[in-house]
Structure 1
Amino acid sequence: MDQEKLQEAKSYQKTNYYFGLISGSFSLVITLGMLIWGGFGLLDQWVSQWVDPMILQSLLFFGLLLLVLICFPSHLIITILLK
């Protein structure tokens, strides 16, 4: 492996590490904020108003959590880091 490829691999690994660190930190802050300020309860009340069957409420609740905690921060961070 030549020096250029080695440097590129190191840079890629470093970027991935920082991305994971930032993404995890952002998810932690969102989760703690929702715990402290009652966001989970508000989300549950909102979902309960719109959907009646309990199984659909659970699916919608966890689907929205997945969207907010995983998908959105990752997409946002990728956009910021790549630009």
Structure 2
Amino acid sequence: MIYVTGERLHPHHIRAAVFDTRWRGLDPGQVHDYLNRVADELDRLHRELTTANTEAERIRQALRQWQSRHTGWRHTDPGSPNSRWAR
């Protein structure tokens, strides 16, 4: 067979794929099985990318909110003369 079951599909696997030949060309069953596996892997990667992009956007929004809440705030030593806190 052209791949080890359970192994993640990588670009070099696709490039190095070799199918058994038959009287009229490649074994259609092997080709379809392989193409289905490629499609499944690309589908999985697409879902992971969508999830990662959603998480990145959530983090960006949280950072923007944090920055807007803390705009103008400066951390100063409580004992310094410029401190916001009364002594």
How would you bin the TM-score normalised by the shorter chain? 0.3 to 0.5
Taking CA–CA contacts closer than 8 Å with sequence separation of 6 or more, which of the two structures ends up with the larger relative contact order? 1
TM-score by length of 2: 0.41
Say which structure is richer in helix: 1
Say which structure is richer in strand: 2
